[in-house]
Amino acid sequence: MSAEQLKDTTAMPVVGKPPATVQITWAGDHQFDGVRLAGGPAIHMDASGKTGPSPIDTLLCALAGCTGVDVVDILEKRRTPMSAMSVDVVGERFAGTPGRITKIELVYRIIGADVERVHAERAIELAVTKYCSVRDSLDPTMPITWKLELNGSYE
């Protein structure tokens, strides 16, 4: 490739999603309400865990929600939609300050008469390793593992 051709390809504009913009407002004690600046419903966080999930809990919920959306979409595209799903998340934390998350385990509980284990496992694998923008926003060296309970069975 010539220098001129290289220059032409590097000058192409980068097109992506617009930035995510949110605002939190202090609600007293260790409580905050968060909302998209473009409008929409608010979330309530409480670092004390009394009136809502903590910011760390909210991050873990975001990861589970993000991967969950991908799993739903992938199984629907396979024409094997599930009838129910929940995701349990355990985030191990560093004992010091800051108490960052050091390891995450996700347990997907899927119910669906026509959902085959191999397809559900593949959907989860793709969600966790390829499609989830929350996962890709976390430290790439942080271990994230997952398990599947399909129709009440781990096997």
Q: Which of 11, 34, 52 is the last residue of a domain?
A: 52
Position 38 scores a pLDDT of 86
pLDDT, tens digit (0-9, with 9 covering 90-100), for 16-64? 888 989 999 999 999 999 999 988 899 999 999 999 999 999 999 999 9
Written in H, E and C, the secondary structure of the chain is: CCHHHHHHHHCCCCCCCCCCCEEEEECCCCEEEEEECCCCCCEEEECCCCCCCCHHHHHHHHHHHHHHHHHHHHHHHCCCCCCEEEEEEEEEECCCCCCCEEEEEEEEEEECCCCCHHHHHHHHHHHHHHHCHHHHHCCCCCCEEEEEEECCECC
pLDDT in tens, 65-88: 999 999 999 999 999 989 999 999
**Domain carrying residue 23:** 1-52
Q: Number of structural domains, the chain?
A: 2
Tell me, yes or no, whether 141 and 124 share the same domain: yes
123 and 72 share one domain: yes
Same domain, 40 and 75: no
Res. 1: pLDDT tops 50? no
Q: Looking at the structure, tell me whether residues 72 and 26 fall in a common domain.
A: no
Chain segment 95-137, per-residue pLDDT in tens: 999 999 999 999 999 999 999 999 999 999 999 999 999 999 9
- Report the mean per-residue pLDDT for the chain: 91
**pLDDT given for residue 13 in this prediction:** 58
Same domain, 46 and 119: no
Decide if 155 is inside a domain: no
Same domain, 67 and 40: no
Contact between residue 68 and residue 107 where contact means Cβ atoms under 8 Å apart: no
Beta sheet of 101-111, edge-to-edge order: 84-93, 101-111, 144-150
Residue 117, in any domain of the structure: yes
Q: How many other CB atoms are found less than 10 A from the CB of residue 24?
A: 14
